[in-house]
């Protein structure tokens, strides 16, 4: 990933964090589920999912899980059209995943405080994406 792409994605994450006070995290993962860029809201002391300090397995993250959900559903795109976003709602947080590129090699992952009406936040996010 080049510096221009890194700068663009960093600014995108900052814009998304500022879009709504309930946005906890905004990040971009690649098609292997690896986090490329990501930021938490300033008042978040630590992530809800604790990283395993012994094994840094990128497949043990909610980002990889979000990528997998989108990957599974991509097989239906030929019949149903492009996936616009995927929402996974937990008791403590809502995860929103959005494909960023036509070649499906970059995915936006956002976590939102729960309970939140994601129906109000997703249009804000999509508006920022253009």
Q: From CA 3, how far away is CA 9, in angstroms rounded? A: 10
| DSSP three-state, residue 28 | strand
pLDDT average, residue stretch 17-43: 88
**Domain housing 37:** 3-129
Assign 46 a pLDDT band (cuts: 50, 70, 90): low
Q: Residue 93's closest CA among 73, 115, 71, 72?
A: 115
pLDDT digits (tens, 9 = 90+) for 72-90: 888 898 899 988 888 888 8
The model's pTM is: 0.80
Between 34 and 17, where is the model more confident?
17
The number of distinct structural domains making up the chain is 1
φ, ψ of residue 94 in degrees (nearest 5) = -115, 130
Q: Which residues in 74-89 are b (16+ Cβ under 10 Å) and which e?
A: eeeeeeeeebebbbee
Question: What's the CATH code of the domain at 97?
Answer: 3.30.450.30
Q: From CA 69, how far away is CA 61, in angstroms rounded? A: 13
């Amino acid at each position: 990933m080049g510096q221009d792409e890194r700068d663009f994605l960093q600014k995108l994450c900052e814009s998304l964090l500022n879009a709504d006070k309930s946005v906890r995290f905004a990040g971009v993962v690649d098609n292997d589920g690896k986090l490329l860029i990501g930021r938490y809201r300033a008042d978040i002391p630590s992530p809800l999912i604790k990283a395993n300090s012994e094994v840094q397995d990128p497949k043990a993250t909610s980002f990889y899980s979000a990528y997998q959900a989108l990957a599974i559903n991509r097989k239906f795109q030929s019949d149903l059209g492009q996936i616009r976003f995927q929402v996974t709602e937990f008791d403590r947080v809502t995860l929103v995943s959005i494909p960023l590129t036509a070649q499906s090699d970059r995915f936006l992952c956002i976590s939102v405080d729960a309970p939140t009406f994601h129906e109000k936040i997703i249009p804000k996010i999509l508006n920022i994406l253009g």
